[in-house]
Amino acid sequence: MATIEDFNKIDVRVGKIIDIEEFLEAKKPTYKLKIDFGKEIGIKKSCAQLVKNYSKEELRGKVILGVVNFPPRQIGPAVSEVLTLGVPDSNHECVLIQPEREVEVGVRLY
């Protein structure tokens, strides 16, 4: 069973997607994202399988949640520095998790 101390080790922050590219080398349809996590964390890269539910235009400017303190992960020729958080829809495709109200970019989940 996880403890509150375990939970507190995971650093989940609010970020704003500022750039999106298609990741053509990925095995499944994937985007390469640049996400602004504010002054403390800065801009980080993430690879996310969002193509089925989101166009690039829908993603630009979208506020999301991401884990910012996992080690970088090599995904083919790209490096994913943060884990963009989502949940599966009825087709098992990713739906992004977002704050329900406007919040400052970079704030930490608690």
pLDDT, tens digit (0-9, with 9 covering 90-100), for 65-94: 999 999 999 999 999 999 999 999 999 999
pTM for the model: 0.95
Q: Using an 8 Å Cβ cutoff, are 20 and 71 in contact?
A: no
Q: Using an 8 Å Cβ cutoff, are 93 and 54 in contact?
A: no
Which pLDDT band, with edges at 50, 70 and 90, does 2 fall under?
Answer: very high
- What pLDDT does residue 82 have? 98
The structural domains of the chain, ordered by start, are: 11-96 (2.40.50.140)
